[in-house]
Amino acid sequence: MLSVTNVGKRVETSAGELEILKSVSFSLAAGASLAITGASGSGKSTLLGILAGLDVPSCGEVELAGQSLTQLDEEGRAALRAGHVGFVFQSFQLLPGLTALENVMLPLELHGVSDARAKAETFLQRVGLQQRLQHYPQQLSGGEQQRVAIARAFASEPDILFADEPTGNLDSTTGAHIIDLLFDLNREQGTTLVLVTHEQRLADLCQQHLVMEGGEVVGFNGQVSDAGVLTT
């Protein structure tokens, strides 16, 4: 499902060029789950962005759902995301002016799904929010907002789901509920899951685990490498 070869990222800063990601390689089979952990500034989010096609690497190759992301332009990557990718964010990223139902409908409408409303209602029901369809984000608790975000992510039935610190803004109890929900849906849908977290408990639930530090992979499934280039 996901194959990463020698991916690196350099950015221009006022102090000169900075390498924020160094030669990352791994691959992930369809239906598998991967946790990316590391301290703040270790390059987790940059890597997630590149894996999901939100950003392009400075070097290396990323293949997602059988397509080379580096060969695609911005429109092509958007089309790939539309067909295969779902997201869950730390700050939920719900549009404040839209109800819970409308937030879930949005990606379906963008992709021209005809029964967007029914589908969105089904997924909101699956995350236990059938009573909250017409509520606006500010009328929902943090946990409820993240459940809406999860419903939105799964509603378009993606092949791969990227989650960026999905429990980062939640208390531990709510976070635990959200994790259960995420993994339940993941199993039911057979979705590949890539999540960025610094919660060890969450990382332990994933089949694979990638540890980052200073833009390099320093550990993969318990093995530590000096070169930071590991494959399963």
Partner 1 sequence: MKRLTLSWRLLWRNWRAGEMKILAVALLLAVTVVAGISIFTDRLQSAITRESHSFLAADRVINSSQPIPLEWRALAQQHRLQYAYSTQFSSMAFAGDAMQLAAVKAVTEGYPLRGKLHIATQPFTTDPQQITVATTIPAQGEAWVDARLLPLLGISLGDTLEVGEKPLKVTRVIAEEPDGGNSFSPMGPRLLMNAADLQATGVIQPGSRISYNWLLASEDPQQLQAFLQQLQPRLSVHERIRDVASSQKRLANALATARKFLSLSAMISVLLAGVAIAIAARRFASRHVEQVALLKSLGAGAGQIRGLYAAQLLWLGVITSLLGLVLGYWLQAAIVQLVGDLLPVTLLAPGWLALLPPALTGLVCLVCFAAPPLWHLPTVPPMKILRRELPVSAVRQYWQVLIGLLALLLLVAVFSGDWVLTVSLSAGLVVLVALGLLLARLLLNGIQHYSERSGSRWRLALASLQRNRQQTLIQTVVFALAVSLLLSLTGLRTSLLEDWQLQLPPETPNHFLLNVAPHQLDGVKQLMSDNQLTTEQFFPMVRGRLTHINGVEPDEEKRERTETLRRELNLSWTDHLNSDNKVIAGQWWDSWPAGGRVGVSVEQEAARQIGLQVGDELRFSIGGLTLEATVASIRSLKWDSMNPNFYFLFSPQSLDDFAPAYMTSLYIPSQQKAFINTLLRFDPTLVVIEMDRMLAQIQAIVSQVSRGVELMLLAVLAAGFLVMWAAVTSSFSERQQEAALLRALGSSRKQLLGSLWLEFSLLGLMSGVMAVAASEVLLLAMQRWVLEIPVRWHPGLWLWGVSVSVLLIGAMGVFACRRTITTPPAVILRELA
Name the residues that contact partner 1, by CB under 8 A.
Answer: 45-46, 48-49, 52-55, 74-75, 78-83, 85, 87, 89, 93, 95-98, 102, 106-107, 109-112, 138, 156, 164
Residue with smaller CB distance to partner 1, 3 or 93 = 93
Q: Spell out the long-range contacts of 106-110 with Cβ–Cβ below 8 A and sequence spacing 24 or more.
A: 106/152, 107/82, 107/152, 107/155, 107/156, 108/155, 108/156, 110/82
Please report, for residues 30, 99, 184, 185, the alpha-carbon distance to residue 188 in angstroms, rounded to integers and kept in the order given: 14, 26, 6, 5
Q: Which is nearer to partner 1, 111 or 187 (CB)?
A: 111
Q: Which is nearer to partner 1, 159 or 222 (CB)?
A: 159
- Minimum Å distance from CB 223 to partner 1? 28
CA-wise closest residue to 165 among 202, 218, 190, 129:
202
Q: How far is the CB of 210 from partner 1 (least distance, A)?
A: 17
Which residue, 39 or 224, has its beta carbon nearer to partner 1? 39
CB of 231 to partner 1, least distance (A): 26
CA distance 147 to 67: 30
When the beta carbons of 49 and 175 are compared against partner 1, the nearer one is 49
CB of 113 to partner 1, least distance (A): 10
CB of 126 to partner 1, least distance (A): 19
Comparing CB distances to partner 1, the nearer of 27 and 93 is 93
105: β partners: none
| Residue 131 tokens, joined | 């009573």
Phi, psi torsion values for 12, nearest 5 degrees: -85, 130
C-alpha to C-alpha distance for 123 and 118, rounded to whole angstroms: 9
Sheet holding 67-68, edge to edge: 16-28, 2-13, 59-64, 67-68
Dig out the tokens for 135 from the structure: 């509520």
What minimum distance in Å lies between the beta carbon of 84 and partner 1?
9
